[in-house]
Structure 1
Amino acid sequence: MMNKQCIKLLAGSLLCSIPAFAEGGANAPSELSDPVALVLLVVIGGLLLAIAVLGNAVMGAMDIFREKMKKDAGKTLLVIGIVVTTLMSSSAFAQTSATAPAAANPYFSHLSQTSFYILVSVIVLELAVVISLLFLLRFLVGIQRKRKPAKAVVPGKPKVSWMEKLNNTKTVDAASEENEDMGHNFDGIRELNNPTPPWWKWGFAFTICFGIVYFWRTEISHSAPNQLEELAAAEAKAAESKAEYLKKAANKIDENNVTLLTDAGDITAGQKMFISNCAPCHGPQGQGVVGPNLTDDYWLHGGKINEVFKTIKYGVADKGMKSWQEDFSPKQLAQLASFIKSIHGSNPPNGKEPQGQKE
């Protein structure tokens, strides 16, 4: 009955202290509809319930340990003094906060600053009461921290290492092995009753739980990719990275690392560049006009792929051939040189007489 009356008294004082209830005007719906006010009121209600439960526990403990309280009257008075001081300081804090000037709360839309401070002060007061009741209950039931007495060392008892404690195993002497023997003997090796370590059991249980969650996410709910989907995504990402690398690496081709291109797309691209830029001097089929025939076995400046690439890139100024390195990229120069190598031995009509050295 006393706890119910206390709760009613606290609730009534709380409702009367909030301006939205005290005025009873049109402001009540606006402040109580604010989410912050509702959360604070729920916290206050929960703390009131905790105070009621702890109050009942304290009353029961006082009845049970009345004799102990009489013996430790000095300590009890000290605890009661601490509780009273805490409650008085909390009440003073609540009154100080309640007298703060009413102003618009800069952080919340509907809840005024006065109402907010009052609700927070009530929560602080209730927390102080809860802590005080817990401290008092702890004292009443005699739960006091005591230093554990040191364990007596038994002579002849083996010392347990931290590894044995971790694995929950134990070292036994020859006499105790008989009690731990499981009856399994193979080639002089006996099985003792040493159970599986706890960390292994918990790890095994964790893997089972992980497998269930993984199967649910990947195969049932499809909220996460499975291993095959992850592999496909990784391969696609790797292909994109490779293509980007090759795109950048194409401009790093020179006469030292150029290779013969055999892809049909590269040969076709080289043919288009040859007809547009090289045909006036070498003919559309490479048969030679002003320049030499590019389809026979004779070369003026070398017929290897790197030599052809170098001739196209730097030109031959004394024979009227310009340098094409400003007109074409290294990739295009490689395509053009590869096309020239592809028409070797085609024997076009009206081919120019051989020039240079045979290769």
Structure 2
Amino acid sequence: MEFEERLVALASKVKGQAAAVQTEEATKNAFVMPFISSILGYDVFDPQEVIPEFTADVGVKRGEKVDYAIVKDGAIQILVECKPSVGALKIEHASQLFRYFATTNARLAVLTNGIVWQFYTDLDAPNRMDEKPFLVLDLLEIDDNLVPEIKKISKASFDLDSIINAAEELKYVGAIKREIAAEFREPTTEWVRFFTTRVYEGAFTQKVREQFTSLVSKSSRQFLNEQVNDRLKTALGSEAPAAFLPLAEPAPSPASEVALAGEPVEDSEVVTTPEELEGFQIVRAIACSDVRPSRVVARDSKSYFAVLLDDNNRKPIARLHFNAAKQKYLGLLDADKVETRHPIDALEDIYSFADEIREAVRRYA
């Protein structure tokens, strides 16, 4: 299994088990040790590679332990401190890492709750761990740009010089991206003012701020959706011949093919509409949190536009019923292939069913 596939597999496990993992020990067993083993490639049961409960007395502090010390080439290279997965990580959780970092040869330190992995080094001052991580990996929302950097930390590809050289750029690029994401979720006054003053000539009053806060937020969401759709359209352009094969017309069943009142009689020719393509792109974007985009394909038919996993009719992710003149429906199938049609007013309403779409993907993947 390739490195990326192992990472996706562990991420899928984390998503499925996170709710059941409540303690620090459970977090170590369920998430942290598998990450060290399958992703970083170290034998967690070999004390020459992974030392659990590593102790190094620091000044007046005696008997303190860091959860894991990872050894490479006979020297401690990485320190790992774990916290329960049910809580968010805070810099206060890294107090032992700060102390141990200065007394060992390690240049890398990791603070994790099994879901989020924060990687630290000593960019600001030699032998003193930075207060901010240079890399943050969230297994619930993997940034593909970080995968090659994580791979450098693995045993098979460990390259400390390359890691440190890239750390400063990663640190600031990651921090800026997180700030942008926060502004998109909940724009600050400064963010709203920044855009308002470029499109509105009047004074930036309280009333104007309130009006433009919602406008900036709406514009940000639409911009992101358009960027995702543009990327997917580009991908579809190169895959179009394989992605849209005619779908054999299935025999209707009472459970899955209930005719809707008022649906027009369909033409004999299959016509793929821009709305169907855009709806497919949204479903595909949602499914990409669990599988590679290339595995999510579409087939159009006279009855509906099907989104499938692995181009397999037995692995339906969703169906787009967009042929009706007045009402569009998103069809979702349960484990028994029984379809429920959900009325939607706009294509962006598909995002409301993201959990159901991902659940369908996980059933097959």
Instruction: Give the structure-2-normalised TM-score.
Output: 0.17
Instruction: Give the structure-1-normalised TM-score.
Output: 0.17
| Higher RCO (CA 8 Å, separation ≥ 6 residues) | 1
Greater strand share, structure number: 2
